[in-house]
């Protein structure tokens, strides 16, 4: 008997997972925890960060220390190259003011609009999608969801099995503007 043992294969794709926490996302904690657990076991190179509502000048690694241990988004852009697949997870439900206006954040005064930060993210990371736990049929009724979709090249997908499949296909594409809903 000649046994040849092979190490377990894990996906070599580099993933940056950005999770919206707090507020309206409280209703989706369980499904987000399941997604995070599955991603952690699937991807060898997985980095995660948290944000609230939209991407601004800082993110954080530990939600319990979100006020004291923030990481500058510019540092994120310097540290992780464009080879990373970026997955935002959030309901994108907020006032459009939070996206398009300096000072729009509900937690702090942001000198630059969230849309500016998202444009930096999409320019740096051509492989970027957004997973939304809200049912897709509700998206058209929420202006901030439509605005977010426009900013990310219509690469928003529902946080369902079918939506995950579509998101993975979109992540394999080379440019962010090639995606469609």
Supply the DSSP string of 80-109, one letter for each residue: S-TTSEEEEES---S-THHHHSTT--SSS-
Domain assignment of residue 3, yes or no: no
State how many domains the chain has: 1
Domain assignment of residue 5, yes or no: no
Domain assignment of residue 2, yes or no: no
Distance separating alpha carbons of residues 112 and 83, to the nearest angstrom: 26
Domain that holds residue 41: 11-178
Domain assignment of residue 1, yes or no: no
Q: Stretch 60-72: mean pLDDT, rounded?
A: 78
Query: For residue 175, which phi and psi values (nearest 5 degrees)?
Result: -120, 145
Domain assignment of residue 100, yes or no: yes
Which CATH number do you get for residue 154?
3.40.50
Q: What sign does the CA torsion over 173, 132, 10, 122 have?
A: positive
Mean of the per-residue pLDDT values of the chain? 86
pTM: 0.85
141-157: pLDDT as tens digits: 999 999 999 999 999 99
Q: Please give the C-alpha separations between residue 179 and each of 24, 74, 168, in angstroms, as whole numbers.
A: 27, 25, 11
Q: Give the pLDDT band (50/70/90) at residue 17.
A: very high
Domain assignment of residue 156, yes or no: yes
CA dihedral 28, 109, 149, 73 (to 10 degrees): -90
73-115: pLDDT as tens digits: 999 999 999 999 999 999 999 999 999 999 999 989 999 999 9
Domain assignment of residue 164, yes or no: yes
Q: Stretch 11-28: mean pLDDT, rounded?
A: 82
Which has the minimum average pLDDT: 22-26, 132-136, 162-166? 22-26
Domain assignment of residue 4, yes or no: no
């Amino acid at each position: 008997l000649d046994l040849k043992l092979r190490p377990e294969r894990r996906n070599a794709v580099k993933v940056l997972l950005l999770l919206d926490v707090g507020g309206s996302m409280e209703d989706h904690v369980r499904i987000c925890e399941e997604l995070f657990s599955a991603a952690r076991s699937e991807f060898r190179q997985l980095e995660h960060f948290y944000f609230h509502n939209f991407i601004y000048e800082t993110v954080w690694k530990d939600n319990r220390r979100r006020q004291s241990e923030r990481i500058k988004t510019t540092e994120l852009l310097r540290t992780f190259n464009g080879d990373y697949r970026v997955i935002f997870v959030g309901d994108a439900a907020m006032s459009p003011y939070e996206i398009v206006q300096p000072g729009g954040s509900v937690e702090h005064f942001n000198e630059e609009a969230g849309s500016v930060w998202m444009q930096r993210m999409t320019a740096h990371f051509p492989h970027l999608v957004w997973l939304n736990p809200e049912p897709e049929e509700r998206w058209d009724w929420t202006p901030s969801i439509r605005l977010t979709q426009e900013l990310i090249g219509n690469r928003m997908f529902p946080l369902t099995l079918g939506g995950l499949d579509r998101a993975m296909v979109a992540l394999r594409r080379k440019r962010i503007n090639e995606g469609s809903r």
